Amino acid sequence: MRTLSLRKLATELMEGLRHLHSLGLVHCDIKPQNVLLSSKYACMLSDLGLCKVLRDNQTSFSKHTDNVGTSGWMAPEVLSKGDVAACVKYTKAVDIFSAGCVLHYLLSRGQHPFGKEWFEREQNVRSNTSTINTGDPLADDMVAKMIQLESGARPSANAVLNHPFFWPDAKRLAFFMEVSDRIEKQDPTTPLLRRLEFEKAAVLGTTDWRTKLDPLLQTDLRKYRTYKVDTVTDLLRAIRNKKHHYRELPENLKQCLGAVPEGYLSYFTRRFPSLLMHTHAALVHCGCHREPAFNDYYSD
């Protein structure tokens, strides 16, 4: 079998779910046992025995109060409460919730966001008590959105696949470049720049982001301009400027930074793992994500 990255497995899982939903099908029983690995594909969704068909323009399906799915992996709206009406409406969001739990299980190598045992999980799902820790801030944010208590707040399968977690390295680096171009020479009091600096300590992890860089890069940065080393804004500018002038950099510095895009991007994201998600969220907060330049990064 091919050696596959966790991100590749997660991608194929969500692409399979997106395809099912595009056909008007709701799986209703997504769990690790129903995600099969194969030599031809990274993974496949199996066991469609509980699958529901949404006909014509239906957005929901009705089910009597017996549970739809497997204990420990069901969405909160699916869990029977005993005193509910005889018939309940469900949507594709039940799959998104279950898939979020499975993705966390996959990416954390065996940890369920709602606990170890099935009975513990059901109680925590009902009370919206989760522990999300995949080791990747991007994955954590994605899972958190997928397992929200309110079904209407969960993203579609297509929106999940457009989350920064799934972006290839070239797209992640291009996003940094686009944002940096957007904020160039803007007044620090504008809403976007203020938001970028909101809780910056958690992003930078230091009062001088240069201290996290190699001496070679620190020296090179000082040659050409002065940076505000305690701001997220100027860290983004530094990433953009060195990328723009990458070909002109000394060979030893190129080796230090790594090849573009993978190595170069990794150089900065290893040191500032929250930077991408922080920047992505800042644009949403200020409404800048609706600008044409960012269509490819925020489309549903």
Active site (catalytic) residues: 29
Count Cβ atoms within 10 A of the Cβ of residue 233 and give its class: 0-12 exposed, 13-18 middle, 19 or more buried.
buried
Cα–Cα distance list, 44 to 13, 53, 172, 267 (Å): 7, 19, 27, 33
What is the SS3 assignment for 10? helix
R_g of the chain computed on alpha carbons: 22
Beta bridge partners of residue 60, listed in sequence order:
91
Length of the chain (residues): 300
Q: Which residue has the tokens 């510095």?
A: 253
The span from the CA of 132 to the CA of 110, in Å, is 12
Count Cβ atoms within 10 A of the Cβ of residue 249 and give its class: 0-12 exposed, 13-18 middle, 19 or more buried.
middle
Cα–Cα distance list, 96 to 108, 116, 156, 161 (Å): 18, 20, 7, 11
